[in-house]
Amino acid sequence: MATAVTPESTGRRRTWRRLPIVNQLRQSVGLQRGMLVAGLVLMGVFLLTAVFAPLLAPYEYGQLRDAAGPFGAQAHPSGNHLLGTTVGGYDVLSRVIWGTRTALYVIVVAVLLSIVIGVLLGLVSGYFGGWLDRVLVVIADAIYAFPTLLLAIIVAIVISGGQSSMWGGVFAAAISITVVFIPQYFRVVRAETVRIKNEAFVESARVIGASNRRIMTRHVLRNATRTLPLILTLNASEAILTLAGLGFLGFGIEPSKAAEWGFDLNRSLSDVTSGIWWTSIFPGAAIVLTVLGLTLVGESLNDLADPRLRTRRKAADTPQGMAEVAVVPGGTLTAGPGGLAGLETGGDRL
């Protein structure tokens, strides 16, 4: 975090302590720390489940029978099927576990794509300004105001025609989410870039003769992307919700190709009326817990970044780390000696 840190303290502090999450974890106290830790734990469980899905799941996501014969449809939870089976005859537990993988793939692809494109556009647009900037801002605002899921539906139709294989489905969902997210990254990065490019240190760099490209990558980008961990977690959770929404409307991935929670919920819609609860509660709970974890982390990061909302430590145990606050847009980045010092060390790590 490039902020007001005195040179000596920078030297003493180890790099890992200044990594986004670690830094906030050290900074938090009490309830806020509890929320952050709970969120991180949920995220950890999600990641581990996704990685070790083949080991954890009793059956394959598309498996309909084992050595003993077909599973049967809508079977009650039992020893063989801890969470029962779906109307299509799949094992609920296995599909919930495999679903973490699909969700993770979509998050990774969507967030990577939208960050790369959004940050790049925001940086270029904010730095150079002009007519391109104005056009991009109007387009971004138009898309930003539009209901995300509707746009995602259109993009999903275009990409996959509505039905798809595993990777086709993952990319369809991820790209449709990307289209919706790009404006968000674009707006934040652009706003920051516009502010930062007028700072004294950028002017100094220009006076020295640094090229536009160097200023953009070394000086502006580093400072304009400080809020990204926050947006990233919030967008990851929105990606899951959009994927589930698409699946629920029938634009998910076919059950034989991969497990997807929203699709399973769609199939359980009629089960609910007849009192069959296990087909809907477990995939739904998986969505809620995953989004909850991501949102708790995102919320905590947001609160810690906002001086108005940050729970303050008691004056006695205020560590030096308190001075180092991740500043959100609208906050101040002092361009004084401290700011420059932070900037220089930051530049080395790019």
Partner 1 sequence: MTTTTTEPATGAGDPATGVPETRKRRGGGGLGSYLLIRFLLIFPTIFILVTTVFFLMRSTGDPITAALGGRLPADQLAERIHEAGYDRPLLSQYWDYLGGILHGDFGTTISDRRPVTEVLKTYGAATLELSVYALIVAFLVGIPLGMVAAYFRDRAPDAVLRVFAILCYATPVFFAGLLLKLIFAVWLDWLPVAGRSSTGAEIQLQTVAHPTNIAIIDALQTGDGEVISDVLQHAVLPAVALGLLTAGVFLRLVRTNVIGTLGTGYVEAARSRGVSESRLLRKHAYRPALIPIITVIGLQIALLLVGAVLTETTFEWKGLGFQLAEYLQARDFVAVQGIVALLAVIVAVTNFIVDVIAALIDPRVRY
Report the residue number, 59 or 186, with the smaller CB distance to partner 1: 186
> From CA 30, how far away is CA 2, in angstroms rounded?
26
List the one residue from 119, 172, 244, 341 that touches partner 1 (CB under 8 A).
Answer: 244
The one segment of 53-61, 97-105, 209-217, 287-295 that binds partner 1 by CB under 8 A: 287-295
List the one residue from 7, 250, 336, 337 that touches partner 1 (CB under 8 A).
Answer: 250
CB 94 within 8 A of CB 61: yes
The distance of Cα 130 from the centroid of its chain, to the nearest Å, equals: 31
The residue written with tokens 């490209």 in the block is: 213
Report the residue number, 230 or 259, with the smaller CB distance to partner 1: 230
> From CA 146, how far away is CA 341, in angstroms rounded?
42
> From CA 37, how far away is CA 43, in angstroms rounded?
10
CB 244 within 8 A of CB 262: yes
Token pair, residue 277, equals 């609860």
List the one residue from 202, 251, 255, 346 that touches partner 1 (CB under 8 A).
Answer: 251
- The answer to whether residue 330 forms part of the interface with partner 1 (CB under 8 A) is yes
> From CA 287, how far away is CA 46, in angstroms rounded?
10
Question: Which positions from 173 through 212 interact with partner 1, judged by CB under 8 A?
Answer: 184, 187-188, 191-192, 194
Question: Which positions from 30 through 59 interact with partner 1, judged by CB under 8 A?
Answer: 30-31, 34-35
The one segment of 8-16, 65-73, 103-111, 325-333 that binds partner 1 by CB under 8 A: 325-333
List the one residue from 154, 200, 322, 323 that touches partner 1 (CB under 8 A).
Answer: 154
CB 287 within 8 A of CB 241: yes
Report the residue number, 21 or 151, with the smaller CB distance to partner 1: 151
Report the residue number, 188 or 221, with the smaller CB distance to partner 1: 188
